[in-house]
Amino acid sequence: MAKIPFDIVGFDLDGTLIDTSGDLAAAVNHAIATIDRPPFPVEAIRPFVGKGAKVMLERALDASGGYDDATLAQLLPVLLDYYQANLSAHSVPYPGLVAAMDALAAAGVKLAICTNKAERFTLPLMDQLGLTSRFASIVGGDTVGIAKPDPAPIHAMIARAGGGRTIFIGDTINDIAGARNAGIPSIAVSFGFLDGPVENLAADAVIDHFDALLPLLESWPQ
């Protein structure tokens, strides 16, 4: 195996490491059912995801008949409480991820997470999926008081993982812009929670499956 020229590979969580769309959809549908809105199929909710729970709920309410600020304020805690109680019923790693993580670890590369998902959801979810021990650091959206695309949480992720040359993988503009703002290269995944063409993210590279990650990293300029 060729040497990977990075000490740390950082990942976003939702839509990058884990397909959380099933559990997020269930939480949205639970919340909007309390005001007699019909449920969405998971495929319809997927484009609503990626910019936080509030935006996800706003998009769902807008698509199902509109909303006002009072309705949004009423339903957001309903959604979050339901989600916290049902984090991992349907959430699974993306295909090829576990094998890619095994190969990175075998090559001596540290793995890390920087997500805009709050710690109250992030840490239990990773525990429930049995993945926590694989990561040298896990930084949530509220860990350092500011979220991506600000570079501070990515810098914290790198520092907590021991420092070194880092590349970041994500599926939204917050991820790719966050990496750029932190001064590190980025890879976009085309299978995540995209709200437009993956090329619009202007990442340094794109992968369509985690099977492509190791060959890409091995070919990265030293």
Q: Is 69 in the active site?
A: no
Residue 87 confidence (pLDDT) above 90: yes
Collapse the DSSP code of 11 into the 3-class scheme (helix H, G, I; strand E, B; otherwise coil) and give the result: strand
Rounded percentage of the chain residues whose pLDDT exceeds 90: 93
Q: What is the mean pLDDT of the chain?
A: 96
Stated pTM of the model: 0.95
pLDDT tens track for 44-81: 988 888 778 999 999 999 999 999 999 999 999 999 99
- DSSP of 88-130: SSS-EEPTTHHHHHHHHHHTT-EEEEE-SS-HHHHHHHHHHTT
Strand partners, 112: 10, 137
DSSP characters for 209-222?
SGGGHHHHHHTS--
12, 172 Cβ separation under 8 angstroms: yes
CA 210/CA 123 separation, integer angstroms: 23
